[in-house]
Amino acid sequence: MKPATAPVPDVATSMPEGLKPFVLLEGAVTPASLDDQVLKFPAQRPPRAWYVAIAFTLSLLAIGLVSIGYTLYYGIGMWGNNRPVAWGFGIINFVFWVGIGHAGTLISAILFLFRARWRNAIARFSEAMTIFAVMCAAIFPVLHTGRPWFGYWLFPYPNERALWVNFRSPLVWDVFAVSTYFSVSLMFWYLGLVPDFASLRDRTEEGWRKRIYTVLSLGWRGATSHWLHYDKAYLLLAGLATGLVISVHSVVSFDFAVSLVPGWHMTIFPPYFVAGAIFAGFAMVVMALVVVRKTMNLSNLITDDHLDVMNRLILAMSCIMGYAYFMEGGTAWYSANPYIQHTFKNYVTGFYGWAGITTITCNIIIPQLFWFRRVRRSIPAMIFIAVAVTLGMWMERFVIIIISLHQDYLPSSWHNYIPTKIDFGVLVGSFGLFFTLVLLFARVMPVIATSEMKASLPGAQAHHGGTTL
């Protein structure tokens, strides 16, 4: 935003609606007003709606815990997995949740490198969602090992059996990719929070809350000699996390692509998975942000234009997904391989054909509504599309895993897969865990990165300034 004295060219007012610069702040926002608006929540009693919401998510979580209890006590046979569908809900949900996380890192790292200022207001929230999503994701493969209390066997460590993990297996790459992703996301998130914890510390009255914020802020005092290294570290982390986020879902896709199962053994899998992950993640972020900006009165910081930009990204990703699906069909046709062709036909016509049709409808057709500006800015419309995309992306993983596995090379080993109640229970529980953590986060931590926002408020910097896209 230009200083008030600068003459505004006439051309700006006569521009078509779509070419106008984005409004990323509504009304007057100063550093002090920003703090008062964003950092007041921890000191307040949450509204009744918050208690209702957390009671609901905790009940979902309880369902999940009971289902996990069944799984632990009676064993993995409580799940619907069978031969040949050895990867059932466990892996579907794992891929789904890891994918949800990717939007957060895209917003916090890749858009940071691109200097897309609109990310500042939503970065913190989506980073938090990344961490919670990866936590949800980790539940599934660990349970799927059958004996989760031996989960540490996944890591290479010197042991009395003189065994090492097989570094030529994509499953081991996955262990490294997901655990690195989680620790790096946590580090990134915490670094961003340190200056905000300092602000919270200094505005909180004496008491146990202040003590917690004091410890969490590590005694941050905002010294310029500290900001120097802090900025450098943040930039480096953004660059490293960019490569990481692309590698993580690529490695997840290697679990499939490196095998010989028809429908999995394709070179398009890594980019296809990364695009799908960002697609699903953005839908989840939009869904959550719509609720947060409404209930926490943050509409002046997270404006309609923020949602508009996010919806454009969802549309772009939807088109990439459409291309990927088309490409899969092209591969099946051009390979002249009857097994791959059979699998591809199964996607839309077989026992599970409804899943493939749902996937295509929710992921490719419905998001096309975002071509219309009115749809991109309408809250009910975007909630509908975001829910559709979430459902569609979950279904896509169902299609990839179940349909490819249930009928592969040998017709004598074909078998249908029916998930059990326990399968659904663990899935519901993971949603409960995710939204419980989101609600707790919104309650006790700054949902908007205030120090980052302050740095880009109009007039905050000496030589350049203003919030533009």
Q: Which is nearer to other proteins, 55 or 462 (CB)?
A: 462
Smallest distance from other proteins to CB 232, Å? 4
Nearer to other proteins, 74 or 372 (CB): 74
| Residue 117 makes contact with other proteins by CB under 8 A | no
The answer to whether residue 73 forms part of the interface with other proteins (CB under 8 A) is yes
Tokens 């964003």 found at = 38
Q: Which of 27, 207, 219, 411 binds other proteins (CB under 8 A)?
A: 219
First to last CA, the chain: 10
Q: Which stretch binds other proteins (CB under 8 A): 40-48, 213-221, 362-370, 404-412?
A: 213-221
Count residues binding other proteins (CB under 8 A): 75
Considering the complex, what minimum distance in angstroms separates the CB of residue 9 from other proteins? 25
One of 12, 15, 43, 163 touching other proteins (CB under 8 A): 163
If you compute the radius of gyration of the chain from its CA atoms, what whole number of angstroms results?
Answer: 24
The answer to the question of residue 66 lying near other proteins (CB under 8 A) is no
Q: Cα–Cα–Cα angle for 456, 460, 464, nearest 5°?
A: 80
Cα 292–298–304 angle (5° rounding)? Answer: 90
Single residue of 214, 341, 361, 420 touching other proteins by CB under 8 A = 214
In the complex with other proteins, the residue whose CB is nearer, 157 or 371, is 157
List 444, 459, 468, 469, residue binding other proteins (CB under 8 A): 459
176 is an interface residue for other proteins by CB under 8 A: yes
Q: Could you say which of 5, 13, 166, 412 contacts other proteins (CB under 8 A)?
A: 166
Q: Find where tokens 């989840």 sit.
A: 284
- Residues 241 and 108 sit within 8 Å (Cβ to Cβ): yes
**Region binding other proteins by CB under 8 A among candidate stretches 1-9, 163-171, 317-325, 397-405:** 163-171
Q: Is 195 a binder of other proteins (CB under 8 A)?
A: yes
Sequential DSSP letters for 85-118: --S-HHHHHHHHHHHHHHHHHIIIIIHHHTT-TT
CB atoms under 10 Å from CB of 412, counted, come to 6
Binding mask 121-160 for other proteins (x = CB under 8 A): --------------------------x-x------x----
Q: In whole angstroms, what is the distance from residue 120 CA to residue 292 CA?
A: 16
204-214: buried (b, 16+ CB within 10 Å) or exposed (e) per residue? Answer: beeeeeeebbb
Would you say 247 or 361 has its CB closer to other proteins? 247
Cα(327)–Cα(438) distance, rounded to whole angstroms? 37
Of the candidate residues 86, 113, 116, 191, the single one contacting other proteins (CB under 8 A): 191
218 binds other proteins (CB under 8 A): yes
> Going by C-beta distance under 8 Å and a sequence separation of 6 or more, which residues neighbour residue 309?
22, 118, 469
Q: How far is CA 406 from CA 263, 273, 350, 412, 421, in A?
A: 11, 21, 11, 11, 20
Using CB under 8 A, which residues numbered 220 to 279 contact other proteins?
220-233, 236-237, 240-241, 243-244, 247, 251, 254
Nearer to other proteins, 203 or 342 (CB): 203
CA dihedral 143, 146, 152, 156 (to 10 degrees): -120
Q: Are 428 and 64 in contact (CB under 8 A)?
A: yes
- Distance (Å, whole) CA 466 – CA 1: 4
| Beta carbon of residue 300, minimum distance to other proteins (angstroms, whole number) | 17
Per CB under 8 A, the segment of 43-51, 59-67, 136-144, 185-193 that binds other proteins is: 185-193
Sequence-ordered list of residues with C-beta below 8 angstroms from that of 394, at least 6 positions apart, any chain: 92, 96, 280
Residue 210 binds to other proteins (criterion: CB under 8 A):
no
Q: Please state the closest distance from residue 135 (CB atom) to other proteins, in A.
A: 18
Contacting residue, 203, 209, 345, 377, with other proteins by CB under 8 A: 203
Closer CB to other proteins, 387 or 455, in the complex: 455
Q: Which is nearer to other proteins, 410 or 462 (CB)?
A: 462
Q: What's the min distance (Å) between Cβ of 451 and other proteins? A: 5
Residues 437 and 448: their CA atoms lie apart, in Å, by 16
Q: What is residue 189's DSSP assignment? A: H
Nearest residue to 278 via CA among 105, 94, 91, 394: 105
Handedness of CA 186, 187, 189, 195 (dihedral sign): positive
Nearer to other proteins, 1 or 460 (CB): 460
User: Least distance (Å) from other proteins to the CB of residue 259?
Assistant: 11
In whole angstroms, the minimum distance from the beta carbon of 201 to other proteins comes to: 7
